[in-house]
Chain A
Amino acid sequence: GAVVSQHPSRVICKSGTSVKIECRSLDFQATTMFWYRQFPKQSLMLMATSNEGSKATYEQGVEKDKFLINHASLTLSTLTVTSAHPEDSSFYICSAPFGSDTQYFGPGTRLTVL
């Protein structure tokens, strides 16, 4: 199947700092990518849709200024958690559509804010 990578896999940062997470489609192009957040023992919560060459579309309740998304190329989307606080600690996962109607997910990034 298609491969989606994420970097870093784990990050620990101090409160108030910003953290950037990269999502790459390794062997295919993706004009759209999705960013999810997952809390322990819960399902994935869609945060935003990343669109190559245009602004991201955020789900209701997700702060645009808090979670900055940039889709600079057909294989790379980045999520920056700005001024991170402990409540932002979570598992962040990206996905990219492949073919007409299915998606492949990255391995996830575990963010811990101290």
Chain B
Amino acid sequence: EVQLLESGGGLVQPGGSLRLSCVASGFTFSSYAMSWVRQAPGKGLEWASGISGSGAGTYYADSVKGRFTISRDNSKNTLYLQMNSLRAEDTAVFFCAKASSGNAFDIWGQGTMVTVSS
């Protein structure tokens, strides 16, 4: 079964850091680009960051550029998101998503909640 499982969310103070993980199973992980998509409480979806299958290419939304770092370990079938200098407005559910060959997100994880508050 194709599956994505996120972990690492939690409560963090403004200015703090957190690292999210997403473990993939059921497909050849290294063959596909991956992304992190977030959703603030009661709000819509926002693409945050993406990475190519090899990990050589990384991409960020302006809202997280310079603060978040996406990476992957293809030997462990795992995607990461290192989040630094967190702000209250980063509070959201973070989903990892697999990109299909046509750049649609065809597989999603269940999400992990990140709360930035003092």
Tell me if chain B binds chain A: no
